[in-house]
Amino acid sequence: MSNKNKVTVKIMDRDYTLVSDDTREHMQRVANYVDDKMRDLYVSNKKLSTSMVGVLTALNVADELFKAISERDELEKRLNSPQYELKTTRDELDAVVAEYERRSKAYEQMIQEFSRLIDSSNIYETGVAQLKKRMDKLDMDLRAREENLKKSREEVLEMEKEFSSKEPGSQMIDFDDETTK
Domain, as residue range, for 59: 5-80
The answer to whether residue 67 sits within a structural domain is: yes
**40-59: pLDDT as tens digits:** 999 999 999 999 999 999 99
- Residue pair 103/110 in contact (Cβ under 8 Å)? The answer is no
The answer to whether residue 100 sits within a structural domain is: no
Give the integer Cα–Cα distance in Å for 89 and 92. Answer: 5
Residues 6+ apart with CB under 8 A from 160: 172, 173
The answer to whether residue 176 sits within a structural domain is: no
Question: What is the number of structural domains in the chain?
Answer: 1
The answer to whether residue 98 sits within a structural domain is: no
Instruction: Answer whether residue 29 shows pLDDT above 50.
Output: yes
Give the integer Cα–Cα distance in Å for 137 and 80. Answer: 87
The answer to whether residue 12 sits within a structural domain is: yes
- Residue pair 158/165 in contact (Cβ under 8 Å)? The answer is no
pTM beyond 0.85, yes or no:
no
The answer to whether residue 54 sits within a structural domain is: yes
| Model pLDDT, residue 174 | 55
Instruction: Answer whether residue 169 shows pLDDT above 90.
Output: no
| Model pLDDT, residue 88 | 83
The answer to whether residue 63 sits within a structural domain is: yes
Apex 86 CA angle, 84 and 91, nearest 5: 95
